[in-house]
Amino acid sequence: ATGLDTAAKAAGKLWFGTAADIPGTGEAQDPYWSAEFNSSDFGEATPANIMKYMFTEPEPGVFDYTGAEQFLDFVEGTDKLVRCHNLIWQSELPTWITSPNVTWTNATLSAALRRHVTTLIEHFGDRCYSWDVVNEAFSDSPAGAYQSNIWYNTIGAAYVVEAFQAATDAVKASNLNVKLYYNDYNIEYLGNKSYAAQNLVKDLKNRGIQIDGVGLESHFIVGETPDKASQQANMQAFIDLGVDVAITELDVRLNVPATAATEAQQVLDYYNSVAACVAVGKGCIGVTVWDFDDTYSWIPGTFPGQGYGDLFLQPGGANTTLVRKAAYDGVLQALTGA
Ligand code: G3I
C-alpha cells in the first residue's frame, strides 16, 4: 500500500509528516492512533507542545527534557525525522518570564533568550532535523508589523536577529547539521505578512546569520484557502531568496457538522496546498499536518463550533478504528499526480 509519506518521497519530498502531542492528550496511548502514526503515511513528526519554553525551561536556567525525551523515544525507531518546535514564541512561556512582578531589561531578557536557544539546540543536537527558532513574530494587523509581545516590547525587532544569531552560534559550536527555520501563519500567500518574512530572510542572510527555511503553517478555513497558484508563487518567492519552505501545520477547519459541500471543498483545499508543494519542486521539502485525527485536534478547543479539520476521524471516539476522510484522497492525489 502506498502511504502518504511513501508518495511524498516518490515526489521528491523529504516527508509527509504530522504533529503529535506526546505526552499530552493521550493519543500515544490510543492503539489505533499509534498504528496510524507508525504507518507509511508519516515520515516526520513535530512535537505539538512538549518542546515549548514553559516545559523545557520551567525555572530560570533549570531545564527539563523529560517530556521532550518521551516524545523523541516514541518517534525514533520509526524512521521519522523530527522538526523541533519551537524556541522563541510569545505563547507557552513560563511564569518566570511573564510574571508582572519580574522586570526585564533588554540585556537580561536577551541573555535569557540566548541561554534558552543555545541550551536546547546543544542538548537535542542532530536528533532535530530542524528547529523553529522563532515562531509567529509578525502580526496580522497591521499585517507584517511585529507582534507586540514580551520579546518585542523589551528587546525590539532585534530579538529575532538575536535568536537566530544564538542558534547559528550553537550549531557552529557543536558542529551540528540542524536546519534553522522561521515559522508563521498567514504567510502562505503573497501579502504584507509574507513580505515581512521575506525581508527577515534577506536581513538574516545579509548579516551572515544562518536561516535555512521558512515554515508555512497553513491552518486554513474551508473555502478560504489560497489557491494552488497563489501558494506556489509565494513558495517560489521564498525559494528565490535561497531558503527552503515547508508546509508545517496544515489543517482545514470547517463549521461542524460538515456538509457534502464543505467536505468536497475541504478535499480541494488540501489538494491545493499539497499540489503547490509538489509543483514548486525540491524547494518545498515536505508537508506536515497538525495532527491527523480529529479526535486529538486542537481546533475545537480554540474555535468552538469548528473542527473536522484533519485527514482521519474515529467515528466511535478515542481508542476505536480510524476512518480515512475524503481529504486523505485529495492529499494522495496531489502527491501522486494521479
Ligand atoms: O493537556 C492538558 C489537559 O490535561 C487539560 O485538561 C487541558 C485543559 O485546558 O489542557 C491540556 O493542555 C492543552 C494542550 O494544548 C494539549 O491539548 C493546553 O491547555 C493548550 O494550551 C495547548 O494548546 C496548544 C497550543 O499550540 C498552545 O501552545 C495546542 O495543543 C497546539 O496544537 C498549538 O499549536 C500551535 C503551534 O505551536 C504554533 N502554531 C499554531 C498552533 C495552533 O494553535
- Indicate whether residue 198 lines ligand 1 (CB < 6 A): no
Is the beta carbon of 41 within 6 A of some atom in ligand 1? no
> Residue 302 has which C-alpha cell?
480554540
Candidates 25, 49, 91: which one to mutate for ligand 1, based on the most atoms within 8 Å of Cβ?
49
How far does the centroid of ligand 1 lie from the alpha carbon of residue 241, in Å? 33
Cis ω for the linkage preceding 257 (within 30 of 0): yes
- What single-letter amino acid sits at 287? V
pLDDT on residue 1: 60
Tell me which residue has its CA closest to atom 24 in ligand 1: 49
CA pair distance 231, 274, nearest whole angstrom: 10
ipTM: 0.95
Q: Is 249 a catalytic residue?
A: yes
The model's pLDDT over 92-122, given as tens digits with 9 standing for 90+, comes to 999 999 999 999 999 999 999 999 999 999 9
Q: How far is the CA of 55 from the centre of ligand 1 (A)?
A: 12
- DSSP for 28-44, please give it: GG-HHHHHHHTSTT-SE
DSSP label at residue 156 = -
Tens-digit pLDDT profile for the chain (338 aa)?
A: 689 999 999 999 999 999 999 999 999 999 999 999 999 999 999 999 999 999 999 999 999 999 999 999 999 878 899 999 999 999 999 999 999 999 999 999 999 999 999 999 999 999 999 999 999 999 999 999 999 999 999 999 999 999 999 999 999 999 999 999 999 999 999 999 999 999 999 999 999 999 999 999 999 999 999 999 999 999 999 999 999 999 999 999 999 999 999 999 999 999 999 999 999 999 999 999 999 999 999 999 999 999 999 999 999 999 999 999 999 999 999 999 97
Whether residue 92 contacts residue 54, with contact meaning beta carbons closer than 8 Å, is answered with yes
Residues 212-225: b if buried by 16+ CB within 10 A, e if exposed: bbbbbbbbbebeeb
CA dist 9 and 200 (Å) reads 30
Q: What is the model's pTM?
A: 0.98
Sketch out the chain's domains with CATH numbers: 4-336 (3.20.20.80)
Residues contacting 156, CB < 8 A, separation 6+: 106
For 62, the grid coordinates are 533549570
| Ligand 1 atom with minimal separation from the 52 CA | 28
- Dihedral (Cα; 286, 320, 38, 337), 10-degree rounding: -40
Give the angle subtended at the CA of 264 by the CAs of 261 and 269, to the nearest 5°. 120
**Is the beta carbon of 310 within 6 A of some atom in ligand 1?**
no
Omega before 142 cis (within 30°)?
yes
pLDDT at 187: 98
Rounded distance between C-alpha atoms, residue 46 and residue 72, angstroms: 10
Using a 6 Å cutoff on CB, does residue 297 contact ligand 1?
no
Whether ligand 1 lies within 6 angstroms of the CB of 149 is answered as no
Q: Is the CB of 48 under 6 A from ligand 1?
A: yes
pLDDT of residue 31: 98
Does the beta carbon of 49 lie inside 6 Å of ligand 1? yes
Cell numbers for 157: 525587532
C-alpha distances (whole Å) from 154 to each of 148, 150, 159 are 10, 6, 9
SS3 state of residue 103? coil
Q: Is residue 91 in contact with ligand 1, taking CB distance under 6 Å? A: yes
How far is ligand 1, taken at its centre, from the CA of residue 233, in Å? 32
Catalytic residue among 57, 162, 249, 263: 249
For a pocket test of ligand 1, which of 298, 302, 310 has the largest count of ligand atoms closer than 8 A to its C-beta? 298
d(CA 25, CA 300): 14
Atom of ligand 1 nearest to the CA of 91: 28
Are the C-beta atoms of 248 and 205 separated by less than 8 Å?
no
Residue type, 284: C
Quick one: residue 70, left, alpha or beta (phi over 0 = left, psi -120 to 50 = alpha)? alpha
Residue 150 near residue 110, CB atoms below 8 Å: no
C-alpha separations of 28 from 33, 75, 92, 325 in Å: 7, 10, 22, 21
175 alpha carbon – ligand 1 mean position (Å): 33
pLDDT at site 188: 98
* Helix pair angle (192-206, 228-239), 10° resolution: 20
